[in-house]
Amino acid sequence: SEEGSGTLIHSMEEKNFKAVSSNPHVARIHFENLELHDALRKFKTGIEKGKLPIPQIIYECTQGDGIDLFISAPQENFDGLQKNLKDIATIEGHWATVSLTGRGLVASDAVFEISDVLKQNGIHFEGLITTPLSLSFLIPNDKIQKASQVLHERFVTSLNI
């Protein structure tokens, strides 16, 4: 009496962490009382008004009655966006990402392990971005050095000795 059909595969490959990287140039833009489409339209208008390069939107989430967009761009672009969005959004430029890169991260328990290590070291994260080869966490900029160090020690150095 077998349930279901097919073959259960626990893991296609072993987790193999290769590197920890970070990006200190992340900002949160909060649009109050807007849905995502409207926030994106206002964001585009602010970019065009300031004749700014289009930043990378790395994460989006609903926050209260509004939308948060996390973007990656050079610091000087944050200043231009602040000027051009000041009446419609708030910008916080004190965010960063810390990422672990490697193979075998998809459908593994790596995200739970990394989350636990960050919490045990007093590092709060606001969001999670996953790709087949990396797991990135949105963290406060003042925690970037500590997060990079503890993740490298725990996942890169200890596994590759």
The structure tokens 């000027």 sit at: 83
- pLDDT, position 70: 95
Whose structure tokens read 């966006």? Answer: 81
Res. 2: pLDDT tops 90:
no
Residue with tokens 């020690």, as numbered in its chain? 153
To 5 degrees, how large is the angle CA 129–CA 67–CA 29? 75
Computed over every residue of the chain, the mean pLDDT equals: 87
Q: What is the mean pLDDT of residues 89-94?
A: 91
Report the amino acid identity of residue 103. Answer: R
Encode pLDDT of 20-71 as tens digits: 999 999 999 999 999 999 999 999 999 998 899 999 999 999 988 899 999 9
Nearest residue to 35 via CA among 60, 54, 58, 59: 60
